[in-house]
Amino acid sequence: MSNKKDIIFKIKNLSKLYGANKIPAFEMMKNGSEKSDVARKYGVTVAVNDVSFEVERGKIFVLIGLSGSGKSTVVRCLNLLQKPTSGDILFEGKSILKLNKKELMEFRRYKISMVFQSFGLMSHRDVLGNVAYGLEVRGEKKEICQTKAMDMIEMVGLKGWEHKRISELSGGMRQRVGIARALANNPDVLLMDEPFSALDPLVRRDMQFELLSIQKKLNKTVIFITHDINEAFKLGDLVGIMKDGKIIQIDTPEGMASNPADEYVENFINSADKGQIYSVKHIMQTPSCLIHSRDGVNYALKQMRDQGVSSAYVVDDNLRLVGILPLDNAVKVKAGELSFQDAITKDVLTTEEDVYISDLLSVAATAKYPIAVIDKENHLKGIVSKASVLSSLV
């Protein structure tokens, strides 16, 4: 029996920088400067810094690390959703960086597919339409699309749901659709970027089990990202741990647990500070009560009543946050004691998606309403309740 490993992906000295001044920043980084210094001097983010690893066919390779450590950037380079700044990526021995446009398209259509953290499903299509998407774009006949998609839907346990809209599904079901869609193309490699992070713990355990059994059955190569060490150890044949864009240690779960490379890894294994592992985007929810500024008070009251909440988030036509309409104010508007505009509280506590939970703790403690998550243009992305901040830490 030959001992030679069948390496499907080989990543060599991969680096990825975001920003305009890449060339001098790259030099500085190569000379061993800290990530934060490079960012300060050139305004360039070093997302991935000289990363090398190999993935064996039919195995699950897990990348783990704190928020912002560059995990997503690494997997996005593997199907070239992001273009590496330097380094090389070999798939079955051939560099994917040398593929021309058409070859890249073929590569994505037949060899590799992806599962996303917030599912990335197309809400204008039903379950079947989503699962068949990859087959459809590569030009398969309609009947083939349908039968293959149906097989996959059955495999992930969604039989009978194929004509449901995505909005009718629970989070766990949506990610099953995401997985079915990724498998329908029968790819060699499955990229999974925190696929289960948005799911609650029980569903998550089901899904982990499901993934393992699917992997046993189909023998796919999986590259899996998580920030949960338990998930990493449960799923991974090999686990790579990342910090500030670098891989610090690659080992089997047992190897890593018994022989952590440094204190950082050890802390990680003990999951010392969960507040640093999760950022706001991992715990934020869609606001249950959202109204447009032109909707008027009657609609707002009805919404609040239907949802059983005591405040509504008010946005303008472009989904930019205007403020919060508390229930007591809304009642006053209805009674004619207050104008609709004056009733909207403008001083809402806000935060952004990439803020660490630990940085949010002090704010959350004093918050009267859930904290609004906005982006740079003030678009409302979601809300974070006090309870979810606290419960993410235990």
Partner 1 sequence: MPDWFIEFPSEINLNIKDAIDKFIRYLLTNGETFFEGIKEVLKGFLNGIQGVISRIPWWLLILIVFILSWRTSRKLGKAILYSALLFFIGAMGLWPLMNTTLTIVIASVIISIMIGFPMGIWVSYSDRLDRMIRPVLDTMQTMPSFVYLIPVAMLLGLGNVPAVIATTTYALPPLIRLTSHGIRQVDNEVVEAAKAFGSTKWQTLVKVQIPQAMPTIMTGLNQTIMMAIAMVVTCSMIGTTGLGQEVLISINRLETGRGFSAGISIVIIAIIIDRLTQGIVKKGEAKIEQ
Ligand X SMILES: Nc1ncnc2c1ncn2[C@@H]1O[C@H](COP(=O)(O)OP(=O)(O)OP(=O)(O)O)[C@@H](O)[C@H]1O
Cβ atoms 372, 285 nearer than 8 A: no
Residue with tokens 């499903």: 121
Selected range binding partner 1 among 29-37, 154-162, 314-322, 357-365, rule: CB under 8 A: 314-322
76 three-class SS: helix
Q: Which amino acid is at 96?
A: I
Residue 152: closest CA among 114, 180, 188, 189? 180
Q: With binding defined as CB under 8 A, does residue 59 bind partner 1?
A: no
For residues 210-269, which are near partner 1 according to CB under 8 A? none
Q: Which two tokens stand for residue 244?
A: 């500030």
Q: What is the DSSP letter of 85?
A: S
Cβ 118 to Mg ion, closest distance in Å?
11
Cβ 149 to partner 1, closest distance in Å?
13
Q: Give residues with Cβ within 8 angstroms of 260, minimum separation 6.
A: 249, 266, 269
Q: With binding defined as CB under 8 A, does residue 185 bind partner 1?
A: yes
- Pick from 15, 49, 72, 276 the residue near ligand X by CB under 6 A: 72
Cβ 66 to ligand X, closest distance in Å?
7
Please report, for the chain, how many H helices and E strands are present, in that order: 19, 16
Q: With binding defined as CB under 8 A, does residue 285 bind partner 1?
A: no
Q: How far is CA 7 from CA 58, 59, 90, in A?
A: 10, 10, 10
H or E element that contains 10: strand 7-18
Cβ 281 to ligand X, closest distance in Å?
7
Instruction: Closer to Mg ion by CB, 22 or 281: give it.
Output: 281
318 binds, among Mg ion, partner 1, ligand X, none (CB under 5 to 8 A by kind): partner 1
Q: With binding defined as CB under 6 A, does residue 175 bind ligand X?
A: no
18 binds, among Mg ion, ligand X, partner 1, none (CB under 5 to 8 A by kind): ligand X
Q: With binding defined as CB under 6 A, does residue 22 bind ligand X?
A: no
Backbone dihedral angles phi then psi of residue 49, each to the nearest 5 degrees: -130, 100
Q: With binding defined as CB under 8 A, does residue 119 bind partner 1?
A: yes
Cβ 70 to ligand X, closest distance in Å?
4
Q: With binding defined as CB under 5 A, does residue 279 bind Mg ion?
A: no
Q: Which two tokens stand for residue 200?
A: 């609650």
Q: With binding defined as CB under 5 A, does residue 72 bind Mg ion?
A: yes
317 binds, among Mg ion, ligand X, partner 1, none (CB under 5 to 8 A by kind): partner 1
Residue 241: closest CA among 205, 288, 275, 277? 277
- Pick from 108, 227, 243, 281 the residue near partner 1 by CB under 8 A: 108
Q: With binding defined as CB under 8 A, does residue 353 bind partner 1?
A: no
Q: With binding defined as CB under 8 A, does residue 48 bind partner 1?
A: no
Q: With binding defined as CB under 8 A, does residue 366 bind partner 1?
A: no
185 binds, among partner 1, Mg ion, ligand X, none (CB under 5 to 8 A by kind): partner 1
Residue 312: closest CA among 295, 302, 321, 324? 324
Rounded (5°) CA angle 42-46-47: 145
Q: With binding defined as CB under 6 A, does residue 253 bind ligand X?
A: no
Q: Is 136 exposed, middle or buried (0-12, 13-18, 19+ CB in 10 A)?
A: middle
SS3 sequence of 216-268:
HHHCCEEEEEECCHHHHHHHCCEEEEEECCEEEEEECHHHHHHCCCCHHHHHH
Q: With binding defined as CB under 8 A, does residue 34 bind partner 1?
A: no
Instruction: Closer to ligand X by CB, 64 or 322: give it.
Output: 64
- Pick from 28, 29, 44, 47 the residue near ligand X by CB under 6 A: 47
Q: Which two tokens stand for residue 24?
A: 């001098």
Residue with tokens 């009267």: 368
Q: With binding defined as CB under 5 A, does residue 351 bind Mg ion?
A: no
Cβ 51 to Mg ion, closest distance in Å?
15
Give residues in contact with partner 1 (CB under 8 A).
Answer: 79, 81, 105-110, 113-114, 116-124, 133-134, 136-138, 165-167, 181, 185, 191, 286, 317-319
Q: Which residues bind Mg ion (CB under 5 A)?
A: 72
- Site residues for ligand X per CB under 6 A: 18, 45, 47, 65, 67-73, 227, 279
